Amino acid sequence: MKTQEMSRLSSLYGGFWSHNVQDFCYMTNRYFPPRQMIEDMQARLPELIGSYPSTNWYLSSLLAKHVGLTENELVVGNGASELINAVVARYVHRLAVPVPTFEEFVNRAKFLGREVCFFKPSQRFDLDIDEFIDHVRDTESDSALLIRPNNPTGSYLSKSDLVYFLDRMKSLNLVLVDESFLDFVDAEPNPSALDLLGEYPNLLVLKSLSKNCGIPGIRLGYAATGNAERLADLRSDLPIWSVNSFAQFFLEEMGHYQREYTESCRQVREATKSLVRGLEAVPYLYPYPTQGNFVLCWISYGFTGKELAERLFEDCRVLVNDCGSKEGLEDNFIRIACRTEEDNARLVDALMRLTKFTETGKIEAVEAR
């Protein structure tokens, strides 16, 4: 019965607040927005509910101030998902995609009748950029997707490798770079591709603000490009009021909380590192290094991903992501989103308690890693 409940909850893709579960599936910043920002929004609630939001160009001007662009270089959407659909529908015909990947890009492409050319890196989750370039050329793809850091693996493509790719892929119609988790990266300074937009007209940077700003319910994202014609096309494809009044208020207030936002990203990085250390102590798990606010784990023995996810839900009302159905992964992978350090510690404790139910020695875990 509980397994049926878990399946039903998974099919909802959110809205878990009334179901008494702890969500380690969806990745978001648990340290932002600050309480004062939320209280300010609550104080304006009747007005926000009863008011139309402004049109897209104004919302774009609000956001542009925070990311160092102009309103003529980005378009705001009702979450990144709205923009993924718009971008794929207009510009993609044959998309080259390293796997595993965030499936919304693939799902939208297939739904719209586009061809998807999967590329499985030879080095497991570390993308060899030359191999991917060969794949793009061999498949005659007109578009390529790069997610930095990648979801679900947490692996990170350096900015120098991205520039290397862009220099050799100028003939592509579109290079789509998803930077939804980039604010959690500490692998290098200034990792964003936004300062490359003027040099590469086929580059389009997409970003969800749900993950980094902790606002999945508000629904905010943006697409940025130095190609003015493409920006105008995307803006014309969106409804006049695609983003709600709560999202507009958030953008208006965001500038007052830059210090708090920077600190929240630091807290997320520290909480994620602590989570990885905790998961390393679980005998049957191997957590992969990550530059995101989530951890991909290989289950070396005892459970499949589905079995472990079901057991955590049955015992603890905890939801983790079973990655067995993802292209490029087997059935013994799960992805765990970082929450607060206290929540993470409780999850690790629950995973440790399940050790007694595993069949140790089934796989020589150290060798298999």
Q: In this structure, what DSSP letter does residue 70 have? A: -
**What is the dihedral sign for C-alpha 237, 240, 242, 247?**
positive
What mean pLDDT do residues 87-98 have? 98
Confidence of residue 188 (pLDDT cuts 50, 70, 90): very high
The per-residue pLDDT for range 258-292, each reduced to its tens digit, is: 999 999 999 999 999 999 999 999 999 999 999 99
Cα–Cα distance for residue pair 228/72, rounded to 1 Å: 7
The per-residue pLDDT for range 136-183, each reduced to its tens digit, is: 999 999 999 999 999 999 999 999 999 999 999 999 999 999 999 999
Cα–Cα distance for residue pair 206/222, rounded to 1 Å: 6
Radius of gyration, CA atoms only, the chain: 21
The per-residue pLDDT for range 300-337, each reduced to its tens digit, is: 999 999 999 999 999 989 999 999 989 999 899 999 99
**Beta-sheet strands, E only, within 19-154:** 22-23, 74-77, 94-98, 115-119, 143-147
pLDDT at 360: 53
What mean pLDDT do residues 112-136 have? 94
Check: pTM over 0.75? Answer yes or no. yes
At position 296, the amino acid (one-letter code) is L
**Beta-sheet strands, E only, within 180-331:** 203-208, 221-225, 285-287, 294-299, 318-319, 321-322
- As given in the structure block, the two tokens for residue 118 are 């999967």
All structural domains of the chain, each given as residue ranges with its CATH number in brackets, are 2-33+259-368 (3.90.1150.10), 54-243 (3.40.640.10)
Give kind and range of the element (H or E) at residue 222: strand 221-225
What mean pLDDT do residues 208-214 have? 95
Cα–Cα distance for residue pair 129/355, rounded to 1 Å: 39
Instruction: Provide the mean pLDDT of the chain.
Output: 93
Give kind and range of the element (H or E) at residue 209: helix 209-213
Q: Residue 299: is its pLDDT beyond 60?
A: yes
Q: Residue 61: is its pLDDT beyond 60?
A: yes
